[in-house]
Amino acid sequence: MRFFKGGVHPYDGKELSKNKPVSKLDAGEELVFPMQQHIGAPAAPCLKKGDSVLVGQIIGTASGFVSANILSSVSGTVKALEPRAIDNGTKVMSVVVTNDFEYRTVEGFGKDKSYEDMDRDSFLEAVKNAGIVGMGGANFPAHIKLAADPEKIDRIIVNASECEPYLTSDYRAMLERAEEIIGGLSVILHFFPKASGVIAVEDNKSDAAEHIQSLIGGQKNISLKVLQTKYPQGAERMLIYAVTGRQINSKMLPADAGCIVHNIDTVCSIYRAICKSIPSIRRIITVTGDAITNPQNFDAPLGMSFREVVDAAGGFKTNPQKIISGGPMMGKSISSLDIPITKGTTSVLALTKDQASAKSSNCIRCGRCVKACPEHLVPQKISVLAAERQYDEFIKWNGTECVGCGCCSYVCPAKRPLSQEISTARAKSIQLLKSRK
């Protein structure tokens, strides 16, 4: 078994919600659809205040090459077009829709279709129209990944490793939607005839792996790969290395290593968009943490507020000290629950004991961060450069290769905010490099 150097084994907290089946949530009165739910240019709102909306209707159109459509998950009327706060702390232009609870759909919504007679361009167009982006949290528009040259791609990897602690949405999807996963992978493989499909699962989810294996049956071009459980196994670079032995860096795309990596939920979305004509309007979200009364997994409509999902999980048992959008390692700490669920929201995590707030002290040069870094960096050194805003030096020490996994901060005995400083400086350095071009 191949595995990467470094990494950590954090407490995974998955037992809180792993045995709770995915339950469907219905939208509330008001839904907020931010126009920036993906990497790239924000979508342009194509409706006015007072317009009526149908389920599955495009309310924001992709406005650039790297961009994605935003679709409505309910029917109703547009209440407002205004900037609203999202989980990364900024305010982005959003379409606010008042739900009329009638769920009138656009024409052809939910109609069974066959992909066999579809050509490549109409497949990419269909994925683009459905507004599908990477659902694992990075939100890269799926149609751009799939536009890679089919001659050069030999692996389609379905990322089902879910290495991030506490999250169980992918695990539940494997148990409950395995047909959709394999169906989605078959659709992609149809358009990449030279590639073989690999579903990569960590070995702590063996029951899900067995279930998938039984469904794969005798299909030759799809296989299951069981990986070692170690954080961040699910990071794209680590995953490609574990599956193929090929290594990529920040200047390369997975396609350069002959791979396309899709999250499990993205593959399900592709299946639904192509075979069932249902665009990306819902996602599976884990509501968990020791401050939540009844941790569980929901199939929630996009645009619903965090508050509604937390309430659906029974609200808070005790007063949470930290609420995180996403997992504890790479998620974003949030200060308000009045933000909408977007395509990249994997979980709402409410913790009582705030481990991150421990006071940081001086670096003792123990080197644990160096040992833990899966990208072979020296977090101790580059975090100092980051804090001093020496971005040129930061680039020289390959700070831009950081994947932001947070292993360094996790192992630091002095509780230094290494990952935060490095990722802030990384963003600045990339801006700097772009401005020099």
Binding site residues, another protein, CB under 8 A = 85, 87-89, 91, 332-336, 339, 354, 356-357, 387, 389, 417, 420-421, 423-424, 427-428
Helical segments of 134-177, H only? 142-146, 169-176
243 vs 245: CA distance, rounded Å: 6
Structure tokens at 251: 């200047």
Q: Closer to another protein at the Cβ: 228 or 420? A: 420
152 vs 195: CA distance, rounded Å: 9
Residues 411, 372 contacting (CB under 8 angstroms) = yes
| Phi, psi dihedrals of residue 191, rounded to the nearest 5° | -95, -5
Q: Closer to another protein at the Cβ: 266 or 419? A: 419
Q: Closer to another protein at the Cβ: 293 or 424? A: 424
| Cα angle, residue 278 at apex, residues 276 and 283 outer, rounded to 5° | 120
Structure tokens at 433: 């490099």
72 vs 145: CA distance, rounded Å: 23
Nearest approach in angstroms of CB 379 to another protein is 13
Nearest approach in angstroms of CB 409 to another protein is 10
Q: Closer to another protein at the Cβ: 49 or 91? A: 91
Selection from 83, 177, 71, 192 nearest residue 133 by Cα: 71
In total, the chain counts a number of residues equal to 437
For 141, which DSSP code? B
| Phi, psi dihedrals of residue 209, rounded to the nearest 5° | -60, -40
- Using a 10 angstrom Cβ sphere, with 0-12 exposed, 13-18 middle and 19 or more buried, the burial of residue 46 is middle
Query: Which three-class secondary structure state does DSSP give residue 210?
Result: helix
Nearest approach in angstroms of CB 283 to another protein is 20
Structure tokens at 436: 């020099």
Nearest approach in angstroms of CB 23 to another protein is 27
Q: Closer to another protein at the Cβ: 191 or 306? A: 306
Nearest approach in angstroms of CB 421 to another protein is 5
Q: Closer to another protein at the Cβ: 214 or 319? A: 319
How many beta carbons lie within 10 A of that of residue 188, not counting itself?
A: 26
Nearest approach in angstroms of CB 333 to another protein is 6
Q: Closer to another protein at the Cβ: 211 or 332? A: 332
* Bridge partner residues of 325 (DSSP): 332, 348
Q: Closer to another protein at the Cβ: 42 or 131? A: 42
Nearest approach in angstroms of CB 331 to another protein is 10
Nearest approach in angstroms of CB 138 to another protein is 16
Q: What is the residue type of 325?
A: S
Nearest approach in angstroms of CB 373 to another protein is 18
Residues 287, 348 contacting (CB under 8 angstroms) = yes
Q: Closer to another protein at the Cβ: 168 or 342? A: 342
